[in-house]
Amino acid sequence: MCGRYAILDGKKIFLTFEKLKDLEVRGQAFEMLPRYNAAPTDSLPVIAMRDRNLGVERMRWWLIPHTSQDGKPLMGSDNRPLSAFNAKGETLESSRLFSPYFQNARCLVPADAFYEWKKISVTGIVGGKKRESVEKQPVVFRMQDERMFMFAGLFSVWRNVQGEEFPSFAIITTEPNELMKPVHNRMPVILHENDFDQWLHRDNKDTEELKKLLFPYPAEQMKAYPVSKLVSSSRNDRPECLEPIKTEQPLFE
């Protein structure tokens, strides 16, 4: 899955990706950056084709279907919001929620890093006896050269009765690559720049071909390292979230 990520400088999009150098900036797309610990329901920059124009704008990270009656997340049988910040790549075509957007509302989500948590066993002394417990150690994943990258995403635009627009998005996940596998069994889909045109084109409804883009990013082009547990709280949104720390246990074995 992908439940936290970092985006530091939106203007790097124009310097990093040749195919996006003429991107239209809509409204305050890069307001409130940098974000070192972005979390679901936050409003974040997203690149999408709207009205035949490719642009970047802020969208809420939790997809709200355009058919919603009240603009709120779908609720499950337990009266809790259904998780809609990630979309499983293998089931997009069969998903009642995500399949319409997979067909014609795909987007790119710029990021510099993303986080995942690895469960580790910790031995401590409680009442003079050894006790084992499980802790979650946050790990950050980045490109080897720390360049910006793009998640594959889906977006929706809900409109209220006054016609105001409220865009939202979800990040697509897939199986882990070899770097990710020791930490978690899912990872976000990261697209190669050569695939941007195919992914963003609103008239491209060839989902069989699009599914071929939803594979794990090459592990050898990425790096990972443990970071402070500060990142475990979305209230902590500062540079320390990205800084490496030392751990007693190896995390990638």
For residue 176 the two structure tokens come to 């882990």
Contact 234, 58 (CB under 8 A): no
User: Among 250, 159, 173, which Cα is nearest to 215's?
Assistant: 173
Contact 47, 110 (CB under 8 A): yes
Q: In whole angstroms, what is the distance from residue 59 CA to residue 168 CA?
A: 5
Q: In whole angstroms, what is the distance from residue 25 CA to residue 58 CA?
A: 10
Q: Which pLDDT value is given to residue 174?
A: 98
Bridge partners of 104? none
User: Among 146, 148, 167, 169, which Cα is nearest to 158's?
Assistant: 167
Active-site positions? 2, 116
* Whole-angstrom Cα Rg for the chain: 19
- Strands 190-191 and 149-159 turn out to be antiparallel
Contact 155, 46 (CB under 8 A): yes
User: Among 217, 221, 227, 229, which Cα is nearest to 139's?
Assistant: 227
Q: Which pLDDT value is given to residue 125?
A: 65
For residue 128 the two structure tokens come to 């003079």
Q: Structure pTM? A: 0.94
Contact 148, 13 (CB under 8 A): yes
Is the bond into 218 cis (omega within 30 degrees of 0)?
no
pLDDT tens, N- to C-terminus, the chain (253 residues): 799 999 999 999 999 999 999 999 999 999 999 999 999 999 999 999 998 899 999 999 999 999 998 888 877 777 777 889 999 999 999 999 999 999 999 999 999 999 999 998 776 666 666 777 789 999 999 999 999 999 999 999 999 999 999 999 999 999 999 999 999 999 999 999 999 999 999 899 999 999 999 999 999 999 999 999 999 999 999 999 999 998 877 776 6
Q: Which pLDDT value is given to residue 207?
A: 94
